[in-house]
């Protein structure tokens, strides 16, 4: 039954992308350089051809609900970009990166808001040119979409409440028996949570904000996520604490592909891939860290 349900869900998602591609029009806006350097709405218009980075418009999709990578806000403060077919704006680390790439390529940036599971489908269908949304570069994803070089490297950490019995944990062993959750269809939920001894894995949450609400409300003891998300959460929820076991024998065991964050695009679009990698080559890990800190500093209190 689970397999049938999953196939039906995937089929419906693909149908939604096809309908979106046929139904929606364009809108655009200015694309200033980045500072210092959900539910879905109507998606991108149907592609008129593969964008190899030489076109006039760069259509970028993201959740607009995954702070500090990306979020939705009501105005253009801090250089936020309008969301197509919406009165809202998008900002965050991913938007900063998208603005920089578009500027370097001499293109106009358009941001499209899609839910997490629709993002790879939109790339495959060509309704957007690329996705910049905190996606790990996994072998499974590489079967259906291509990725740029990493534009961030995200360590895996644990979030809990300061008054939790797990607040002083020093290793995964110290999390034994915890009620845990994370976001659906992520390395955090599928790979990391099962490594906790005797873990009580709870239902995966559809978005990052929902998993944080589950922790704040006491529905779970811990949340497994990446470091930027945890840092942003601690800024919004002062009663949360981030636990990092990095460099110890008790840390989560993940491969590089599971912590390398990349920009996804349609399979075989080597032109756009080369163009984006050329832009990323002008940046350093220090730039990535600086931009992420800027995003955390200005993220809204409730994304």
> Is there a single domain that holds both residue 249 and residue 266?
no
Domain count, the chain: 2
Evaluate whether residue 303 is within a structural domain: no
Q: Select, from the ranges 11-25, 34-48, 188-202, the one with the highest average predicted confidence (pLDDT).
A: 188-202
> Is there a single domain that holds both residue 68 and residue 143?
yes
> Is there a single domain that holds both residue 159 and residue 133?
no
Evaluate whether residue 205 is within a structural domain: yes
> Is there a single domain that holds both residue 76 and residue 200?
no
Residue 51 confidence (pLDDT): 75
Token pair, residue 196, equals 């906790």
Of 240, 256, 272, which residue is a domain's last?
Answer: 256
Evaluate whether residue 36 is within a structural domain: yes
> Is there a single domain that holds both residue 236 and residue 266?
no
Average pLDDT of the residues in 118-125: 96
Which of 35-39, 166-170, 208-212, 259-263 is the least confident region?
A: 35-39
Instruction: Residue 68: give its domain's CATH number.
Output: 3.40.190.10
Evaluate whether residue 80 is within a structural domain: yes
- Its domain, for residue 189, covers 155-256
Band of residue 50 on the pLDDT scale cut at 50, 70, 90:
low
> Is there a single domain that holds both residue 87 and residue 165?
no
Evaluate whether residue 207 is within a structural domain: yes
Is the confidence at residue 21, as pLDDT, over 70?
no
> Is there a single domain that holds both residue 105 and residue 79?
yes
Evaluate whether residue 292 is within a structural domain: yes
Residue 300 confidence (pLDDT): 85
Evaluate whether residue 4 is within a structural domain: no
Is the confidence at residue 42, as pLDDT, over 90?
no
Average pLDDT across the chain, whole number: 85
> Is there a single domain that holds both residue 228 and residue 240?
yes
> Is there a single domain that holds both residue 136 and residue 119?
yes
> Is there a single domain that holds both residue 140 and residue 274?
yes
Tell me what percent of the residues of the chain surpass a pLDDT of 70: 81
Give Dmax (Cα) for the chain: 56
Convert the pLDDT of each residue in 84-120 to its tens digit: 999 999 999 999 999 999 999 999 999 999 999 999 9
> Is there a single domain that holds both residue 239 and residue 278?
no
> Is there a single domain that holds both residue 27 and residue 138?
yes
Band of residue 154 on the pLDDT scale cut at 50, 70, 90:
confident
Evaluate whether residue 50 is within a structural domain: yes
């Amino acid at each position: 039954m689970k397999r049938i349900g999953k196939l039906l869900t995937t089929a419906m998602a693909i149908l939604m992308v096809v309908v979106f591609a046929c139904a929606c029009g364009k809108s655009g806006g200015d694309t200033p350089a980045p500072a210092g350097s959900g539910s879905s709405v109507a998606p991108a218009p149907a592609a008129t051809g593969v964008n190899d980075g030489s076109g006039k418009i760069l259509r970028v999709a993201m959740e607009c609900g995954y702070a500090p990578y990306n979020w939705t806000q009501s105005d253009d403060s801090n250089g936020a970009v309008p969301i197509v077919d919406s009165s809202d704006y998008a900002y965050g680390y991913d938007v900063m990166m998208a603005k920089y790439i578009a500027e370097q390529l001499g293109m106009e940036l358009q941001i499209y808001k899609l839910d997490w599971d629709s993002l790879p489908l939109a790339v495959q269908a060509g309704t957007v040119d690329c996705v910049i949304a905190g996606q790990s570069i996994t072998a499974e994803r590489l079967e259906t979409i291509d990725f740029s070089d990493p534009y961030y490297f995200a360590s895996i950490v644990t979030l809990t409440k300061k008054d939790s019995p797990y607040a002083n944990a020093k290793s995964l062993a110290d999390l034994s028996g915890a009620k845990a959750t994370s976001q659906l269809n992520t390395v955090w939920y599928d790979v990391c949570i099962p490594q906790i001894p005797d873990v009580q894995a709870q239902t995966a949450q559809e978005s990052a904000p929902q998993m944080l609400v589950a922790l704040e409300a006491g529905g779970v003891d811990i949340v497994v996520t990446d470091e930027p998300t945890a840092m942003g959460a601690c800024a919004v929820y002062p009663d949360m604490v981030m636990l990092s076991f990095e460099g110890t024998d008790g840390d989560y065991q993940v491969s590089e592909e599971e912590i390398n964050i990349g920009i996804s695009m349609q399979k075989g679009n080597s032109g756009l891939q080369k163009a984006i990698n050329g832009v990323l080559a002008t940046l350093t890990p220090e730039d990535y860290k600086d931009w992420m800190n800027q995003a955390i500093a200005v993220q809204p209190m409730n994304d």
